[in-house]
Amino acid sequence: MALPMIREILAQVFKIPATNPFPARFLPPSVTEFLKKVGAGEATINPPVATPPRFRGKIVYDRDGCIGCNLCIRVCPAHAIEFIPETKRVRIYVTQCIFCSQCNDICPKGVLTMSPEFLLGTEDRFAESQIVE
Amino acid sequence: MSDGTPTKKAPYVVPIGPIHPALKEPVQFLFEMEGEVVKKADFAPGQTHRGIEWMGMHRNPVQIVHLTDRICGICGVTHSLAFARAVEQIVDIEVPARADYIRVIIAELERIQSHLLWAGVAAHELGFDTLFYLAWRVREESMDVIEYITGNRINYGLVQVGGVRRDIVPDQHPTIKKCLDGYRDLLGKMLNLFLNDTTISIRCKDTGLLTFEKALELSCVGPTARASGVVKDVRVDYPYSAYGDLDISPILPSAYGGGINGDVYDRIVVRLLEVAQSVEIIETCLKEMPDGPILWESKLPKLLSACKKAHGEAVGRHEAPRGECLHYVAMDGHEAPAMWKVKASSYSNLHSWIPMLEGEQLADVPIIVASIDPCLSCTDRVAVLRGVKRDLMTKEDLHRLSVEKTRRIQGC
């Protein structure tokens, strides 16, 4: 009976885990309680794996440089961008966004960029953090 | 039943799925059993239809190319590449040579990660979870390189109509080369762990047989066809992108020294050897990548207006990790295409389940089902049933039946 895996398993005992323990190094009794403590400054979060240089995270919008040309709306695959006629500016719904960064490519003024921020989970679709304008 | 005499009893039917722990994706199987042996197998896909083609008909090609990224969770570049190639033919776009090489590099990285993912799933289906964890750990290295090149782990967003959106600069070469060298060293180990292991041999050899004739008859594609000895690979048969410049040939299980049986074991051999082939392809492409632009038209509004003027129809093909993927696009001078049809690679392979499963034991069903690397979420399209009556009871129908019964009992 050939079991070449045995050597591999024995070597594995002396290796550190390949995964990054997140958000805490050891599983807390309640993750929600732990995150509340982090919010209050009583505990620290174990940092996530660093994002690569070209990572596409939450969109950043420079409102003052925008000329309201609507080109970003034409290429957004997810219809995540809405034009506000009163102010001639756009509103971006992060919950809709698929992070393709196509709007960054087409923007003639370069006012749209992608930040490395990726911890965006929330229960409210229309929370302040989920709307960029 | 144990003495093998045919019985007059109705066969025992075991339904598995649509949602079942042994299946990684939603599909329903119906097995007519005789003891432990599957006598007759049938399956019903269509549980994850998402109407993605319909969504595409309301969007322009530049939008759709990112929608195609989301057709499959594993093949992030396959569908966008096939779609972009179809649109490029209609609009008559010549893709710059450098973009072609970058497309090949990312497509081969995808093949590496997809095959390693499959190897892990196969080990898991055999109950060999240690190997499953190992395969998935080494897969992460290719995912890291993909993330390093494109910016994201799964939905790369790299392919654009007329080229690619991100260049591979010389500064990135050392990281990519390090990953490739890692895989080259690892391959001997993976082949040893998978192919010399008694547990895997006894479960996979002569299991899920698909003969050469059956594979041809059912038009199987990709590693499933090649494991049965069918010499078929879009990269070689109809070279596209930079594949025409490369010296590659389809990998058959005989490359490992054994014969061609068309069993699950051969499918493992083909996929592991294809990982090695992909490593070589990426290395060659990095070396021979020409300089030049990476996009046919870097100004997106110009690209959009060129697409809007185009008339015609075309088929874009790509050899996905699972086999040939095909996109049919027709455009008639509007923003959105007049027709967009996706044929995912698993569509051609699903029917090979029936000859594979019949005559096998119920315990072999998970590994045989997984052995063709099915991807049902990409495959599911609208199925129109003609001449078949299908009973579907809605809430209103049931209410009507209930009222009718009350009236019947009361005799009024």
Name which of B320, B113, B327 is nearest B225 in CA terms.
B320
Distance of CA B346 to the CA centre of its chain: 5
A28 and A91, same domain (yes or no): no
Q: Into how many domains does chain A fold? A: 2
Distance from CA of A31 to the nearest CA of B (A): 25
A40 and A68, same domain (yes or no): no
Can you tell me the distance from the alpha carbon of B137 to that of B142, in angstroms, rounded to the nearest whole number?
10
Q: Indicate yes or no: CB of A4 within 8 angstroms of CB of B196.
A: yes
Can you tell me the distance from the alpha carbon of B322 to that of B370, in angstroms, rounded to the nearest whole number?
12
User: What per-residue confidence (pLDDT) applies to B219?
Assistant: 92
Q: Which range marks the domain in which residue A71 is found?
A: 51-133
Give the 3-state secondary structure of residue A129.
Answer: helix
Which mean pLDDT values do the consecutive 10-residue runs of chain B (412 residues) have? Answer: 60 86 84 91 86 89 91 89 94 94 94 94 91 92 92 89 92 94 91 90 91 93 93 92 91 87 92 94 93 91 92 94 93 92 91 92 91 87 69 83 91 74
Boundary residue ending a domain (A33, A49, A65):
A49
For every residue of B184-253, DSSP letters joined together read HHHHHHHHHHHHS-HHHHHHHTTSS---HHHHHHTT--HHHHHHTT----HHHHS--TTGGGS------G
| A66 is a domain residue | yes
Name which of A128, A110, A119, A122 is nearest A61 in CA terms.
A110
Q: Residue B337: its chain A contacts at CB < 8 A?
A: none
Give the 3-state secondary structure of residue B350.
Answer: helix
Q: Indicate yes or no: CB of B151 within 8 angstroms of CB of A56.
A: yes
A71 and A104, same domain (yes or no): yes
Give the 3-state secondary structure of residue B9.
Answer: coil
In the block, residue with structure tokens 């010296």: B247
User: What per-residue confidence (pLDDT) applies to B235?
Assistant: 93
For every residue of B71-131, DSSP letters joined together read T-SS-TTHHHHHHHHHHHHHHTPPPPHHHHHHHHHHHHHHHHHHHHHHHHHHHHHTT-HHH
A36 and A85, same domain (yes or no): no
User: What per-residue confidence (pLDDT) applies to B174?
Assistant: 94
Can you tell me the distance from the alpha carbon of A94 to that of B129, in angstroms, rounded to the nearest whole number?
38
CATH code of the domain covering residue A85: 3.30.70.3270
Q: Residue A9: its chain B contacts at CB < 8 A?
A: 130
| A5 is a domain residue | no
Answer whether B49's CB lies under 8 Å from B382's CB. Answer: yes
| A123 is a domain residue | yes
Size of interface A-B (CB pairs under 8 A): 75
Can you tell me the distance from the alpha carbon of B330 to that of B320, in angstroms, rounded to the nearest whole number?
22
Residues 6+ apart with CB under 8 A from B351: B218
What are the CA-CA distances from residue B344 to residues B57, B321, B378 (Å)? 18, 11, 6
Angle formed by the axes of helices B97-125 and B173-195, to 10°?
A: 30
| A104 is a domain residue | yes
For chain A, which ranges sit under pLDDT 70? none
- Cβ–Cβ contact B308 with A under 8 A: no
- Cβ–Cβ contact B301 with A under 8 A: yes
Answer whether B45's CB lies under 8 Å from B350's CB. Answer: yes
Q: Which of B152, B172, B189 to mutate against chain A (most A CBs within 10 Å)?
A: B152
| A109 is a domain residue | yes
User: What per-residue confidence (pLDDT) applies to B6?
Assistant: 58
Does pTM surpass 0.95?
Answer: no
A44 and A105, same domain (yes or no): no
Q: Residues B363-393: pLDDT tens digits? A: 999 999 999 998 888 888 766 667 766 667 7
Q: Indicate yes or no: CB of B152 within 8 angstroms of CB of A77.
A: no
First-to-last C-alpha distance (Å) of chain B: 52
- Cβ–Cβ contact A71 with B under 8 A: yes
User: What per-residue confidence (pLDDT) applies to B1?
Assistant: 46
A31 and A87, same domain (yes or no): no
Q: Indicate yes or no: CB of A4 within 8 angstroms of CB of B165.
A: no
| A36 is a domain residue | yes
A37 and A86, same domain (yes or no): no
For every residue of B136-178, DSSP letters joined together read HHHHHHHHHHHHHHHSSSS----EETTEESS---GGGHHHHHH
φ, ψ of residue B32 to 5 degrees: the values are -90, 115
Domain ranges of chain B: 52-379
Angle in degrees, CA B184, B190, B193, rounded to 5: 155
- Cβ–Cβ contact A101 with B under 8 A: yes
Strands B311-320, B323-332: pairing is: antiparallel
Can you name the CATH fold of B52-379?
Cytochrome-c3 Hydrogenase; chain B (1.10.645)
Beta pairing partners, B318: B325
Which two tokens mark B410? 């009361």
